[in-house]
Homo-oligomer: A and B are copies of this chain.
Amino acid sequence: MKRRVGILTGGGDAPGLNAVIRAFVKYGIRRFGWEIVGVEDSFNGLLDAPRRLQLMTLRSCQGLLHRGGTVLGTTNRGDPFDFPGPNGTRSDRSGDVAQAVADEGLSGLVCIGGDGTQAISLRLMEECGVPVVGVPKTIDNDLSATDATFGFHSAVEVATDALDRLHTTAESHERVMFLEVMGRDAGHIALSAGLAGGADVILLPEIPWDPDRVAEKVRARQRIGRLFSIVVVAEGALPMGADVGSPSERKARLKRGGGAAQIAMATLEGRVDAEMRSTVLGHLQRGGSPIAFDRILATRFGVAAADLVAANRWGEMVRVWNDEVDGVPIRDAIRTYRLVDIDGQLVRAARATGIELGSA
């Protein structure tokens, strides 16, 4: 009988998810002869098995490589260990997930997802005996266990393209233009896009920014006849001494989007004499076709995940390290974040080319 393996995607989508699925399915079927079961909407699909499972075939891989989003869906109704029921009740449904895996005869699950998804999959393995292999996904590129994650470079490209567009219109109008990009805790997208898009100011979550420095940068440009400025703001960036609010207030503000740009505009109001406008990229950064870099990395991740499954290296997560893709224990990989290194070369390059970061 054919080995059966499940695959699912969890958390926010990132360009390249479908490329991981495609590579895993093609390689799993052609090389190992597996039957591969796509689980819809993260672990939720297992709670509705078999209705929300789909058999993945070579045919279902056609056209997936360049397609954004995830064909498996990723709408999470909740953590199976603390699952929402009727009337606000919550219950532990992890046993149902494990039972569905057993009922479906799955050898294990390949879980493509961020930190939350990986943590759940690790618990499923350790507490419920569900064999899992992880594939990391964070569009923010903030996981220290891997040198890179797919989706990040595509998001940077979208943000850079937006900066190119804003440049022409800002220049015509002598305005200060704010572009808010993703990055709640880590400012990698803001830093990379700001460098690539020629921003004048980059505001990062890692650096509480000094309004006077930023205002002075805008004025210094005005003094030499550059009457517009472009400011990239990570969604988690705040001025020095700002009141973050309670965790739930912060979360609500981040979910709504646009908050960081609004705070930046309000803070600079009065300090600089220029019209200001903001654009919030939001979900445009997640959508669309992945760039080549991400398609290749995602393909390598999908192949490596199949190799881990074939070798029964359950409990490991694929990652890329010194340009080689290998496996690392999920336990060691989760909850280890990588923030922007504020003494690193990228930050130095930003300062060297005259970009103001809001601090000395």
Contacts and interface: CB of A to CB of B under 8 A. Distances in A.
Q: Is the interface of A mostly helix, strand, loop or mixed?
A: helix
Nearest to A228: B75
Contacts of A277: 257, 282-283
14 contacts: A13-B168, A13-B169, A23-B353, A26-B352, A26-B353, A65-B196, A66-B197, A73-B171, A74-B172, A75-B174, A160-B295, A170-B283, A177-B283, A195-B295
B73 A174 contact: yes
Contact of A345 (B160, B324, B349, B353): B324
A31 interface: yes
Given A156-B293, A160-B292, 8 more contacts: A69-B171, A166-B284, A195-B296, A277-B283, A279-B282, A291-B291, A300-B346, A324-B345
B352 A31 contact: yes
A117 to B, nearest CB: 14
Given A65-B198, A198-B66, A23 B349 contact: yes
Given A169-B286, A288-B164, A227 B75 contact: yes
A99 interface: no
Contacts of A70: 172
A162 interface: yes
A190 to B, nearest CB: 12
A296 B169 CA distance: 20
Contacts of A104: none
A313 interface: no
Contacts of A168: 13, 67-69, 286-288
A325 B68 CA distance: 33
Interface in A191-208: 192-193, 195-198
Given A292-B156, A296-B195, A169 B69 contact: yes
Contacts of A65: 196-198
A164 B65 CA distance: 10
A351 to B, nearest CB: 9
A195 B30 CA distance: 17
Given A172-B13, A172-B73, A303 B27 contact: no
A153 interface: yes
A171 B162 CA distance: 23
Nearest to A174: B75
A3 interface: no
A280 B256 CA distance: 12
A169 B26 contact: no
A303 B172 contact: no
Interface string A53-86: 0000000000001111110011100000000000
Contacts of A345: 300, 324-325
A193 B292 CA distance: 7
A30 B354 contact: yes
Most B Cβ at <10 Å: residue of A74, A75, A158 = A75
Interface string A149-168: 00001001110111011111
A335 interface: no
Given A26-B354, A296-B195, A349 B303 contact: yes
